């Protein structure tokens, strides 16, 4: 499978199913890549998979694509491969890849099941930008006959908040779109903050659409719970100390990076929210405190 084919498969996945997370699409593409790989050794296969992940993360700069790819690679090779026959090994790896994919596809529902009890009847929720997991959680809350209202930030520059508001209205949830600058104003009316994440880093902090950090700071200042919903394939081995420490490849769109222009002029698309501002993380591994994220990562990688 050539690089172009890989990218094409990835894009096709995203086109065909707009509801799919980019990471899931990447994993599907990688699984296809694995099936068609004509290497002779496991080491060779690993290397070509690494290259494929690299290629994909250059197409989509989201943290989840690289973290999902890494975890996929880790998961399929985290088993005894002591067979003399290479094709047998590959078979096992493909099998495990499929298990991983089904697990990943199911994770959103699992999170919804875990998280919706935290939404009380009559709650006022603040959310940020567009997140499919948040949407799924709110949907689950509606299904369990809870009445609540949602404030969505407009989330410039791509106005993802409008998209979110539209999706919420479809679920018959009362929704108000607010300015990004109005977060501080609205915070006192809000019962809880619920955001998705592009990536969850080792410290237990999150990387998410720009503006998340200010919401977290506001929530902390007014003692409102700040909940994050994120699938475990978004866990990434990265430990930013502050905003400057987040690598550029995540901060800017892949297209912007390709042009090679001066990045100081460019606006970053994501920011880093430190773990001290986060109350809980809802993942398919369970409800975690920020410090437990690193524990899960250590268990996976050591």
Question: Would you tell me how many other CB atoms lie within 10 Å of the CB of residue 95?
Answer: 12
How long, in residues, is the chain? 302
Show the binding pattern over residues 275-294: x = contacts another protein (CB under 8 A), - = does not: xx--------------x--x
**Per CB under 8 A, 299 contacts another protein:** yes
* Residues 6 or more apart whose Cβ sits within 8 Å of residue 59: 7, 10, 11, 65, 254
**Between vectors from CA 170 to CA 182 and to CA 139, what angle results, nearest 5°?**
85
- Nearer residue to another protein within complex by CB, 225 or 240: 240
Answer for which of 70, 198, 202, 284 binds another protein (CB under 8 A) is 202
# residues near another protein by CB under 8 A: 18
Minimum CB separation of residue 240 from another protein in Å reads 9
Show the binding pattern over residues 84-103: x = contacts another protein (CB under 8 A), - = does not: --------------------
Minimum CB separation of residue 50 from another protein in Å reads 18
Beta bridge partners of 208: 271
- Nearer residue to another protein within complex by CB, 158 or 295: 295
- Nearer residue to another protein within complex by CB, 9 or 273: 273
Minimum CB separation of residue 234 from another protein in Å reads 17
| Near another protein in 256-275, by CB under 8 A | 275
Show the binding pattern over residues 217-256: x = contacts another protein (CB under 8 A), - = does not: --------------------x-x-xx-xx-----------
**Per CB under 8 A, 38 contacts another protein:** no
Residues near another protein, by CB under 8 A? 202-204, 237, 239, 241-242, 244-245, 275-276, 291, 294-295, 298-299, 301-302
């Amino acid at each position: 499978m050539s690089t172009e084919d890989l990218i094409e498969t990835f894009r096709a996945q995203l086109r065909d199913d707009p509801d799919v997370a980019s990471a899931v699409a990447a994993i599907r593409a990688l699984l296809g890549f694995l099936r068609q790989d004509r290497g002779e050794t496991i080491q060779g296969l690993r290397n070509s998979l690494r290259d494929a992940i690299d290629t994909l993360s250059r197409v989509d700069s989201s943290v989840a694509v690289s973290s999902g790819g890494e975890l996929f690679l880790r998961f399929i090779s985290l088993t005894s491969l002591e067979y003399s026959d290479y094709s047998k090994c590959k078979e096992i790896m493909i099998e495990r890849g499929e298990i991983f994919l089904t697990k990943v596809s199911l994770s959103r529902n699992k999170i919804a099941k875990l998280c919706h009890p935290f939404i009380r009847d009559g709650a006022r929720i603040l959310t940020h930008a567009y997140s499919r997991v948040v949407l799924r959680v709110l949907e689950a809350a509606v299904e369990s006959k809870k009445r609540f209202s949602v404030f969505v930030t407009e989330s410039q520059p791509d106005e993802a908040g409008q998209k979110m508001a539209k999706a919420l209205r479809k679920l018959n949830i009362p929704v108000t779109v607010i300015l990004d600058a109005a977060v501080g104003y609205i915070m006192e009316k809000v019962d809880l903050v619920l955001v998705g994440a592009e990536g969850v880093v080792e410290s237990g902090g999150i990387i998410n659409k720009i503006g998340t950090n200010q919401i977290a700071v506001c929530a902390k200042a007014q003692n409102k719970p700040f909940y994050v919903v994120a699938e475990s394939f978004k866990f990434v081995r990265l430990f930013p100390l502050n905003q400057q420490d987040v690598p550029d490849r995540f901060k800017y769109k892949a297209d912007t990076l390709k042009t090679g222009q001066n990045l100081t002029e460019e606006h970053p698309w994501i920011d880093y929210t430190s773990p001290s501002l986060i109350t809980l993380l809802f993942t398919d591994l369970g409800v975690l405190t920020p410090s437990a994220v690193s524990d899960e990562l250590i268990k996976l990688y050591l």
